[in-house]
Structure 1
Amino acid sequence: MAIYREIATQLRDEIGARYISGDLLPSENQLAERFDVNRHTVRRAIDELVQDGLVRRHQGLGCRVVQKPIDYALHDRAAFSHNLNQIGLGLETEVLGRRITVLPDILAEQLALAEGTTVLEVQTRRFIGPDPVCLIRHYLFDLPDDALGGFVEGSLHSYLLQHFDLELQRGSTRLRARMPTFDECNQLAISRGVPVMEVYTRNFCRQTGQLREYSIARSRSDFFEYRVEPKP
């Protein structure tokens, strides 16, 4: 095994055992002295950790350990904010845009809806502390055109429950991992080497069983581990 990979493996083990989110790794000079190698070798080892999403480089500061992945359960409670609050994590919401639009034909076909179906589309970005962690595109059905005029922060699903007595329940969910686009890298503050996890969810009205939302979430794989909980 190449020397830099051996160093990366050892540092990876130490990060899991001894470091917490926010800790700084020793400097490249300190690591080079410790492992008796040159700084170029250390830099390649750290590149491996950055690609794995374990550390992030900060100009003038060094390499900081990122937060360990959040164990996020996919169950019938559809609210992203609520689920994170349940495990003690506050979530901030930024509304990136809202509009009335026609549902893309490919989605209309997948959802067994008529071609040309009009929807209320909302795009949000979610933050945990200062870190952007998730981008979500919400397609909402059978709501007034101005339904979300007052939605500027917090949980979208709580807003729908409070203002429209609409309680959503998660239906089918699909997941896939892929590499991020340049725009997603900028919006989520990640490198091209950190995959995003796409979560496609159908959310139904709990009372009527009617499809009321289709959402596409793109979350940082260095922040989340998804756990599927079977129905009781």
Structure 2
Amino acid sequence: MDRLSRHPTTVYQVIAARLEEELRTVYRCGDYLPSEQQLAARYDVNRHTLRRAVDELVNKGLVQRRRGIGILVLMRPYDYPLHAQTRFSQNLLEQGSHPTSERLLAVLRPANASVAAALGREEGDDVIHLRTLRRVNGVPVSLIDHYLPNLDWWPVLQRFTSGSLHEFLARELQQSLTRRQTRISARASQAKEAQLLEVALQTPLMCIRTLNTCNGSDRVAEYSVSLARADMIELTMEH
């Protein structure tokens, strides 16, 4: 049982604040909160007070009451602005979230036709292929394939295991990447992607293809293909 201040005008607000924090750290979109009866018992309040607390979350668009089912966690998507200097980690930190990224794959491989075209190389040319999984507050949000044509970077990039790839490149190789072009489409998740992103098979994903240049050059230094959960990320473009 959680002990709260008994001030009559603040109890439901305190409960709402605590539940909102749990929504961001414990629950994920699609989960259900405990029943109102269970939550009222947990906070040692009556059902009316508990409902007022839940009303606060409903009004913020964080949860939805589903008649006969329960309280569905919606969560607001994380805002991700698209511009030349966008930095995923920094942007999420500024929103009060905890972004992480782990490397799942690091290999040299022959470029297929689409990768070669994006990088301005010949099909079959060796490129660096990294795959990373990004999480926000522990919840998977995007799976990214990074293709880099400069094989001189390979010895250093083998040491990259987690965190921001672009920050690693700036720190270890003094290479600053800038977004030049972004293409956005949608497709359904396949089995491996669904498993890594912890979503159901055939869940809609945003497919974000990005070309990045380096240190003011027009030459493409990275081609990335990101599969992002549409329920977790909201893209913003300023005009």
Asked if Structure 1 and Structure 2 have the same fold, meaning a TM-score greater than 0.5 normalized by the shorter chain, the answer is yes
State the aligned residue count: 183
How far does residue 190 in structure 1 lie from its aligned partner after superposition? Answer: 1.0
2:189 is aligned with 1:180? yes
Indicate the residue corresponding to 1:220 in structure 2: 229
Equivalent position to 2:104, from 96, 114, 117: 96
Indicate the residue corresponding to 2:172 in structure 1: 163
Indicate the residue corresponding to 2:83 in structure 1: 75
Indicate the residue corresponding to 1:132 in structure 2: 140
How far does residue 93 in structure 1 lie from its aligned partner after superposition? Answer: 1.2
2:211 is aligned with 1:202? yes
How far does residue 78 in structure 1 lie from its aligned partner after superposition? Answer: 4.4
Q: 1:204 touches 1:210 (CA, 8 Å); kept in 2? A: yes
Equivalent position to 2:161, from 152, 155, 170: 152
How far does residue 219 in structure 1 lie from its aligned partner after superposition? Answer: 0.7
2:112 is aligned with 1:112? no
| CA distance in structure 1 between the aligned counterparts of 2:118 and 2:107, rounded to whole angstroms | 22
SS of equivalent to 2:157: coil
| CA distance in structure 2 between the aligned counterparts of 1:155 and 1:110, rounded to whole angstroms | 22
SS of equivalent to 2:76: coil
Residues 174-226 of structure 1 deviation map (CA, whole Å, 9 limit, x = unaligned): 00111111211111111236311110000001332321000000011110111
Residues 127-167 of structure 1 deviation map (CA, whole Å, 9 limit, x = unaligned): 11221111000001214232212211111000000011100
Report the TM-score, using the length of structure 2 for normalisation: 0.68
Q: 1:194 touches 1:222 (CA, 8 Å); kept in 2? A: no
Indicate the residue corresponding to 2:199 in structure 1: 190
CA-based RMSD: 2.7
| CA distance in structure 1 between the aligned counterparts of 2:206 and 2:110, rounded to whole angstroms | 25
Structure 2: give runs of 5+ residues left out of the alignment. Answer: 1-18, 39-62, 65-69
SS of equivalent to 2:98: coil
SS of equivalent to 2:155: coil
**Map 1:11-26 → 2, pairs under 5 A:** 20=20, 21=23, 22=27, 24-25=32-33
Looking at both structures, which has the greater relative contact order when contacts are Cα pairs under 8 Å and sequence separation is at least 6? Answer: 1
| CA distance in structure 2 between the aligned counterparts of 1:66 and 1:94, rounded to whole angstroms | 26
Structure 1: give runs of 5+ residues left out of the alignment. Answer: 1-18, 31-53, 56-61
How far does residue 64 in structure 1 lie from its aligned partner after superposition? Answer: 4.9
2:131 is aligned with 1:123? yes
Which range moves more in the overlay, 74-83 or 208-217? 74-83
How far does residue 87 in structure 1 lie from its aligned partner after superposition? Answer: 2.8
Shift in alpha-carbon separation, 1:141–1:229, aligned structure 2, 3 A:
farther
Residues 86-123 of structure 1 deviation map (CA, whole Å, 9 limit, x = unaligned): 33322111110100111112321344322322211100
Shift in alpha-carbon separation, 1:132–1:89, aligned structure 2, 3 A:
same
| CA distance in structure 2 between the aligned counterparts of 1:209 and 1:87, rounded to whole angstroms | 32
Report the TM-score, using the length of structure 1 for normalisation: 0.70
